[in-house]
Structure 1
Amino acid sequence: MAATEAAMASSSLSLEKDPAPVLESSGTAAATAATKPATVAAAATAAAAPATEAAAGSDAGDAKSDMANKLLSLNGVFAVHKPKGPTSAELLNRLKEKLLAEAGMPLPKCNKRKKQTFKIGHGGTLDSAAKGVLVVGVGRGTKMLTNMLSGTKRYIAIGELGKATDTLDSTGKVTEEKPYDKITQEDIEGILEKFTGNIMQVPPLYSALKKDGQRLSTLMKRGEAVEAKPARPVTVYSISLQRFQPPLFTLDVECGGGFYIRSLVSDIGKELSSCANVLELTRTKQGPFTLDDHALPEEKWTIDDIARALELCAALLPAETGLKKPKPDESKEQPLSCESISLSEVKAEGDAIQAS
């Protein structure tokens, strides 16, 4: 009987141990069965990923292509807000780089022999120390920039009495100092009439005017001897004294092309038996474009913002300065290249047109 009980105990022990492997086997099978759909789904997802990425890449490519086409279709004239610091040419290059980057287009290497598709330029150079309205032409609008040179310009200039500089502004070396303590507001207002209307003006030595194909300012910086250009006729439509707080005085000037505010302030200082230079200069208007209403700040240098600005500015321009219809061959796509040109107006050669 003991043997029988031992056998039964052994059998019972066997029965208790055997189910464990069966359960493990069942669990493994279930896990495997559950894993198969997940594996298949993962494989399917992995297989679909390249197609999805390709589709996304295609959409991105299409978007870039659309922006490139939109950029190349821009034509007209608009205005940007130039800050103090960069030259007008440097600002134009910065604008061009931003637009090409947005359109997904590489910066082209300049080659005058290639016909370009994208052309951008500015008309009416502002000194690097000046800020304000800078008129920009894009596409066929670059051909309209000459009209901007002959148009009126308006400036707010802060002059400083008692100091003369070689550049006629605060960026230059002080060349002379004279007293100014006896100069009154009435004295300044009394001489402004002499600088109104059609007058003769000697351009600054530091200017965009050229000698033997090189800018006078470049020659001056090299230390080369430069003779002053002869006086030439310019037009001042209006000039008024806005504020006088010695040694500073603020002028509001509206003038024609080729006029130099630095020369005006210097001449005013001499007329007052003292000397003066420009401490700060802001162009508030050029042609129909004003600083407050039309000049785009840098954060709005986008293709869409410029397209809207072109539509707005087109209504401001006289009909005779409007865009001409493109020639048949101009509408055909051309390889993107870059062309740098510099044009000058005969009566206002200091106001360079630069296109690139």
Structure 2
Amino acid sequence: MAAVEAEIVPALVADSAPVSDPAGAAQTMVAPSVAGAAAAAVAAAARTGSEAKVSKAALATKLLSLSGVFAVHKPKGPTSAELLNRLKEKLLAEAGMPSSEWSKRKKQTLKIGHGGTLDSAARGVLVVGIGRGTKMLTSMLSGSKRYVAIGELGKATDTLDSTGRVTEEKPYDKITQEDIEGILQKFTGNIMQVPPLYSALKKDGQRLSTLMKRGEAVEAKPARLVTVYSISLQKFQPPLFTLDVECGGGFYIRSLVNDIGKELASCASVLELTRTKQGPFTLEEHALPEDKWTIDDIAQSLEHCTSLLPDELALKKSKPDEPSDQVLSCEYITLNETKGENDIVETL
């Protein structure tokens, strides 16, 4: 900016060369003043630009220092991966590092991932790990999850929810609230459950849902042992019924609703699904809405959520990151909740 000032100021002074008439003298007095104002304006602009760069650099440094786990509120519509990508883009943009830049720079990475997939039709708590927090997701999220599910009697779909193609319809008019409450005990405790065909489970390295969408023949996975800690009927207004379910990992709410329909000599599918709790994170208290996806808000959330973690994980988080002045780049990863050939990420 100094070179720019040097070009502007002499030009203004040259125009103020003295002449014989008094008016010229007046111009001689005014022009330097104008030149000074112009120089001051340029200097101020230079300072503003410099301050903006410093601010972005500080935000980038703060972004790289974030480490731990927090929760965001996933709405219906996007997949969990799409939502994570949106979060990543917002943080990078705030730090002055758009994706076109970080994709070219691999000296230092911002790691960010989620620890449990929610289908696009579902909403609720999605736990996110950032920095070293990505390594905490698997061990921390092995606890229970809680869901509120609205099931619809008399209708079955190929996906077991409202997004699929209707495959069967049966009467439900004779089913009562007592009938539903009477069978819930059968779905409590350690039970055997067949996962849905449209799921994140894999065959030959590809998700079953992907194979199904291609029209390929897919065999159902065998029933496996899962755990339901509690299940209760919250509301019954035929054909709709609302369940509150607390379960362990690997459990599918869609399969539960489908099995309940069969047990009632009818059929059923999931109309609405909300995850209200994952690990210690609840939808009401901890899940950040999208307007809170800022570096400062996430930093505050990480600090608040530290108290929710088991001591051994909190101690890991408190270890300082290695200092680095390398360039910011970014990658995101999705950690699997359960390791194994099925590559289970989360349960629906």
Q: Residue in 2 aligned with 1:43?
A: 35
Structure 1 residue 32 displacement after superposition: 3.1
Structure 1: which amino acid aligns with 2:279?
A: G
* Aligned residue type for 1:161: L
From 211, 215, 219, the counterpart of 2:211: 219
* Structure 1 residue 140, shift from structure 2 partner: 0.4
Match of 2:13 in 1: none
Amino acid at match of 1:238: S
1:285 match? 277
Q: Which residue of 1 aligns with 2:125?
A: 133
Post-superposition CA distance 1:302-330 (Å, at most 9, x none): 00000000000000111122252799994
The one of 330, 335, 339 aligned to 1:346:
339
Residue 41 of structure 1: CA displacement? 1.1
Pairs within 5 Å for 1:1-356:
29-107=21-99, 108-109=102-103, 116-324=108-316, 330-339=322-331, 341-344=333-336, 345-346=338-339, 349-351=343-345
Distance 1:219 1:110 in 2: 33
* Distance (whole Å) between structure 1 residues aligned to residue 94 and residue 246 of structure 2: 37
TM-score normalised to structure 1 length: 0.86
Letter in 2 for 1:198: N
CA distance in 1, matches of 2:282, 2:317: 27
Residues 273-305 of structure 1: CA distance to partner in whole angstroms, max 9, x if unpaired?
A: 000000000000001100000000000000000
- Which sits farther off after the overlay, 203-212 or 327-336? 327-336
- Partner Cα separation in structure 1 for residue 311 and residue 321 of structure 2: 25
Aligned amino acid, residue 195 of structure 1: F
Shift of 1:258: 1.0
Whether the aligned pair in 1 keeps the contact of 2:161 and 2:270 (CA below 8 Å) is: yes
Give distance in 2, aligned partners of 1:195 and 1:216.
25
Distance 2:211 2:141 in 1: 24
Q: What is the TM-score with the length of structure 2 in the denominator?
A: 0.88
Between the two proteins, what is the percent identity of the paired residues?
77
Q: Do 1:183 and 1:272's aligned partners in 2 also have CA atoms closer than 8 Å?
A: yes
Q: Which residue of structure 2 aligns with residue 16 of structure 1? A: none
Shift of 1:335: 3.9
Give the C-alpha shift of residue 338 in structure 1.
Answer: 3.8
The aligned counterpart of 1:18 is none
Report the Cα offset of residue 245 of structure 1: 0.1
Distance (Å, rounded) in 1 between the aligned partners of 2:317 and 2:127: 22
| AA partner of residue 188 (structure 1) | I
Q: What is the rounded CA distance, in whole Å, between the counterparts of 1:68 and 1:218 in structure 2?
A: 37
| Displacement after TM superposition at 1:340 (Å) | 5.0
CA distance 1:110–1:238, shift in 2 (3 Å): farther
Q: Distance in 1 between matches of 2:46 and 2:109?
A: 30
Change (3 A) 1:244 1:352: closer
- Secondary structure (helix, strand or coil) at the match of 2:87 reads helix
CA distance in structure 2 between the aligned counterparts of 1:157 and 1:329, rounded to whole angstroms:
41
Specify whether residues 337 and 68 from structure 1 end up closer, same or farther in structure 2 by C-alpha distance, changes over 3 A only.
closer
SS of corresponding position for 1:280: strand
Distance in 2, matches of 1:122 and 1:110, equals 24
Cα distance, 1:268 vs structure 2: 0.3
SS of 1:315 mapped into structure 2: helix
Cα distance change on mapping 1:84 and 1:110 into 2, 3 Å: farther
Distance 1:115 1:326, change over 3 A: farther
State the Cα RMSD in Å: 2.2
Q: Which runs of 5+ in 2 are unaligned?
A: 1-19
CA gap 1:293/1:283 in 2 versus in 1, 3 angstroms: same
Residues matched between the structures, number:
324
Structure of larger gyration radius: 1
Distance 1:343 1:325 in 2: 17
Tell me the amino acid that sits aligned with residue 109 of structure 1. Answer: S
Contact 1:76/1:323 (<8 A) preserved: no
* Partner SS, residue 150 of structure 2: strand
Task: Describe the SS at the equivalent of 1:331.
Answer: coil
